[in-house]
A and B are shown apart, each in its own frame.
Chain A
Amino acid sequence: MAPPRSDDLLIRPRARLVERGIELAIRSSAFIVIAALVLIFVFVGKEAVPIFTSAEVHEEVTIGSMVAPRADGAFSWQPVSMVPKYSLLPLLVGTLKVTFVALLLGLPVAVGAAIFTSEFAPQAARELVKPAVELLAGIPSVVIGFFALMVLATWLQDAFGFVYRLNAITAGIGLALAVIPIVYTVAEDALSAVPQTFRDGSLALGANRWQTAWRVVLPAAMPGVFAACVLGAGRAIGETMIVLMASGNAAMLSLDPSTSFRSFSATIAAELGEVVHGSAHYHVLFFLGAFLFVVTFLLNLLGHWYIGRLRDRLQGKSRRPARSP
């Protein structure tokens, strides 16, 4: 006689309903992350679209008027005035000015420090610098802006005699402080990821540590270091509070870094509070926000793509292998 069939092995339809429900809840929470990013794009973009489509808005401002000079050849951002002017050029120059200063100061310092701690430094230095960078990263940007405005601006003016106390150099130094942690972290990760065998091989061939670092390790980690710079640039462009507090908030068009300026993000922060909901000014500010979103989104994609390239290269998957001595 055959042993009885084990029907209790079969799934009963009602059982595991709770299990299915929980799995559904967990899966949908993952969707929320994607939804959040999409919603940000949609709802910021939604308020920016009238710039392109609304006739009412076009009476006051168009894409063309934001980019081209006025009749008398001037570019000016004066949304709150008898004749509102919306030229983006002063804001663009301001943003680029401060970003340039911040990256000029911040990138070498951060990358240099990363090279030092991963190639030259004894363990003690590493244990000092890494926590310091984490501390720096933990300082809220409003505090850095506060410091730049209250302390840094005075020092710099005393030292260099600036006409404008708050300018792109002051704000740029503050911004560099915000950029350094992310650049240092990503660059240091990239340098540490280079296998020790690369260094050993180079040293065994008679190179000293500088030559090893400069000719072997850095080139091998270059995608990661580049990614660090790209991500740092993204951070600099998007940072608001430091620039809001230390830039002087004057939308002047000038290439001189020692003058006050306005950046895109600071403009949004400074003017959105007083703007009339639905007015042309309101839509322009959202347009600036959408623009910032797209730029930093692309920079982020680029940065992370390069990190992926680094990983592939070090794992021997890419067509252009890291040159080992």
Chain B
Amino acid sequence: MTPILEVQGFTAGYGGRDVLASVSIELFEHEVLGIIGPAGSGKTTFLRSLNRMNDLDPRFHAYGTIRYRGIDLYRDPVDVAVLRRKLGMVFAVPVPLPGSIWQNLVFGPELNGRTAALDERAERSLRAAYLWDEVKDRLHSSAFALSGGQQQRLCLARTLMLEPEVLLLDEPCSGLDPISTAKIEEALAALKAQLTVVLVTNNVLQSSRVADRTAFFLTGKLVEVGTTRQLFVNPREQMTAEYISGRFG
């Protein structure tokens, strides 16, 4: 299997500090890659480097290579807007835009003028996010009226409207109740068939439930990556074992 995303020797940080140190990892099509590690290990910085969201911080710097389907994301003349459509991101805190549920969903497509068949695409995205049944009768009501878990699923649906190839999720279930968490995990498992998922989570067990492969980050370094089963049952590194068993975190 050839990878769709190759990261080689990627070092990045803000100002004078480096947050990631020479990370090398590959991402394969149609898999769910879980990224675990304690706070401050660079997981979010890594995720945001994949779709160049870190560009928004003027102090950000990066060395090394990230290649998506053959294109060097940091050296080739990449159209960042297109990149962020292909690698869609869901944040830790649900951020519905002011407006109705419908307006949130069509925001992405309207940016690019891809406004064909919006109704069907909206329904498909909402179903994929396990939200359709709950909102199908009130698509034009305010997005802020939804509960936290519903808002997050809306954000997922909103990202799916872009028809991304990769889904980047940054601790999407932090702060959500177990039922919402379960719904999102179900949605991710189903989405695997159509796209690739990278899931950053500080809940180790979530990775064990949902991810095919899991990567363990610690203070900016990639300590270990392997199939989830192998990482949890028989990790190669001592630190991995200690983190997973809750010795620190």
- Tell whether A276 is near chain B: CB-to-CB under 8 Å: no
A-chain residues with CB within 8 Å of residue B68 when the two chains form the complex? 6, 9
Q: Which of A10-18, A88-96, A142-150, A253-261 contacts B (4 or more CB under 8 A)?
A: A10-18
- With beta carbons under 8 angstroms apart, the residue of A6, A11, A12 that contacts B69 is A6
Contact, CB under 8 Å: A16 / B69: no
CA distance A7 to B70 in the complex (A): 9
In the A-B complex, the 3 residue pairs with the closest CB atoms: A5-B70, A6-B69, A11-B79
Contact, CB under 8 Å: A11 / B78: yes
- Tell whether B71 is near chain A: CB-to-CB under 8 Å: yes
User: Hey, which bits of chain A sit against chain B, CB under 8 A?
Assistant: 1-12, 15-16
Mostly, the A contact residues are: loop
- With beta carbons under 8 angstroms apart, the residue of A1, A3, A12 that contacts B79 is A12
CA distance A5 to B4 in the complex (A): 10
B-chain residues with CB within 8 Å of residue A4 when the two chains form the complex? 69
- Tell whether B76 is near chain A: CB-to-CB under 8 Å: yes
CA distance A9 to B165 in the complex (A): 12
B-chain residues with CB within 8 Å of residue A8 when the two chains form the complex? 82
Which A residue's beta carbon lies closest to that of B68?
A: A6
- Tell whether B98 is near chain A: CB-to-CB under 8 Å: no
- Tell whether B86 is near chain A: CB-to-CB under 8 Å: yes
- With beta carbons under 8 angstroms apart, the residue of A3, A7, A12, A16 that contacts B4 is A3
Task: Name the distance in Å between B220's Cβ and chain A's nearest Cβ.
Answer: 27
Range of interface residues on B (Cβ < 8 Å) = 10 to 19
Instruction: Say yes or no: A6-B86 contact (C-beta < 8 A), given A11-B79, A15-B79, A16-B79.
Output: yes
Instruction: Say yes or no: A5-B2 contact (C-beta < 8 A), given A11-B78, A15-B79.
Output: no
- With beta carbons under 8 angstroms apart, the residue of B69, B83, B86 that contacts A3 is B69
Contact, CB under 8 Å: B82 / A2: no
CA distance A16 to B77 in the complex (A): 13
Contact, CB under 8 Å: B70 / A2: yes
Task: Name the distance in Å between B185's Cβ and chain A's nearest Cβ.
Answer: 27
Contact, CB under 8 Å: A5 / B69: yes
Task: Name the distance in Å between A108's Cβ and chain B's nearest Cβ.
Answer: 46
Which B residue's beta carbon lies closest to that of A8?
A: B82
- With beta carbons under 8 angstroms apart, the residue of B2, B77, B86 that contacts A11 is B77
Task: Name the distance in Å between B166's Cβ and chain A's nearest Cβ.
Answer: 11
- Tell whether B29 is near chain A: CB-to-CB under 8 Å: yes
29 contacts between A and B (CB under 8 A): A1-B2, A2-B2, A3-B2, A3-B4, A3-B29, A3-B69, A4-B69, A5-B70, A5-B71, A6-B68, A6-B69, A6-B70, A6-B86, A7-B71, A8-B82, A9-B71, A9-B76, A9-B78, A9-B79, A9-B82, A9-B83, A9-B86, A10-B76, A10-B77, A10-B78, A10-B79, A11-B79, A12-B79, A15-B79
Which A residue's beta carbon lies closest to that of B77?
A: A11
B-chain residues with CB within 8 Å of residue A3 when the two chains form the complex? 2, 4, 29, 69-70
Which B residue's beta carbon lies closest to that of A6?
A: B69
**Residues 76-96 of chain B, each 1 if its beta carbon lies under 8 Å from chain A, else 0:** 111100110010000000000
**Residues 101-133 of chain B, each 1 if its beta carbon lies under 8 Å from chain A, else 0:** 000000000000000000000000000000000
B-chain residues with CB within 8 Å of residue A10 when the two chains form the complex? 71, 76-79
> Which of A1, A3, A4, A9 has the largest number of chain B CB atoms within 10 A?
A9
Which A residue's beta carbon lies closest to that of B83?
A: A9
Additional pairs, 19, CB under 8 Å, beyond known A9-B76, A9-B83, A10-B78: A1-B2, A2-B2, A2-B70, A3-B2, A3-B29, A3-B69, A5-B69, A6-B69, A6-B70, A6-B86, A8-B82, A9-B71, A9-B79, A9-B82, A10-B77, A11-B78, A11-B79, A12-B79, A15-B79
CA distance A1 to B29 in the complex (A): 13
A-chain residues with CB within 8 Å of residue B69 when the two chains form the complex? 3-6, 9
Which B residue's beta carbon lies closest to that of A15?
A: B79
CA distance A7 to B77 in the complex (A): 10
CA distance A163 to B70 in the complex (A): 92
B-chain residues with CB within 8 Å of residue A5 when the two chains form the complex? 69-71
Which A residue's beta carbon lies closest to that of B69?
A: A6
B-chain residues with CB within 8 Å of residue A11 when the two chains form the complex? 77-79
Chain B, range 42-90, C-beta contacts under 8 Å to A: 68-71, 76-79, 82-83, 86
Which B residue's beta carbon lies closest to that of A2?
A: B2
CA distance A11 to B83 in the complex (A): 10
Task: Name the distance in Å between A8's Cβ and chain B's nearest Cβ.
Answer: 7
B-chain residues with CB within 8 Å of residue A15 when the two chains form the complex? 79
CA distance A311 to B90 in the complex (A): 38
CA distance A16 to B83 in the complex (A): 14
CA distance A3 to B76 in the complex (A): 18
B-chain residues with CB within 8 Å of residue A16 when the two chains form the complex? 79
Task: Name the distance in Å between B89's Cβ and chain A's nearest Cβ.
Answer: 16
Task: Name the distance in Å between B164's Cβ and chain A's nearest Cβ.
Answer: 12
Task: Name the distance in Å between B196's Cβ and chain A's nearest Cβ.
Answer: 11
Task: Name the distance in Å between B53's Cβ and chain A's nearest Cβ.
Answer: 15
CA distance A5 to B70 in the complex (A): 5
CA distance A12 to B79 in the complex (A): 8
A-chain residues with CB within 8 Å of residue B83 when the two chains form the complex? 9
